[in-house]
Amino acid sequence: MGLTVLLGGARSGKSALAQRLADRWDGPVTVVATGQARDAEMAQRIARHRAARPAGWDTVEEPLELEAAVAAAGGNAFVVVDCLTLWVSNLLEQGLDDAEVQDRARAAAATAAARAAPTVAVSNEVGSGIVPADPRSRRYRDLLGEVNAAWAAAAGRALLLVAGRAVPLADPLELLSNG
What's the CA gap between 170 and 173, in Å, rounded?
Answer: 9
Element (H, E) at 74: none
Annotated active-site residue 112? The verdict is: no
Rg of the chain over all Cα atoms, to the nearest angstrom = 16
What's the CA gap between 152 and 58, in Å, rounded?
Answer: 25
Could you tell me if 127 and 138 are in contact, meaning their C-beta atoms sit under 8 angstroms apart?
A: no
Catalytic residue among 49, 106, 141, 157: 49
Residues 6 or more apart whose Cβ sits within 8 Å of residue 48:
none
Active site residue ranges: 49
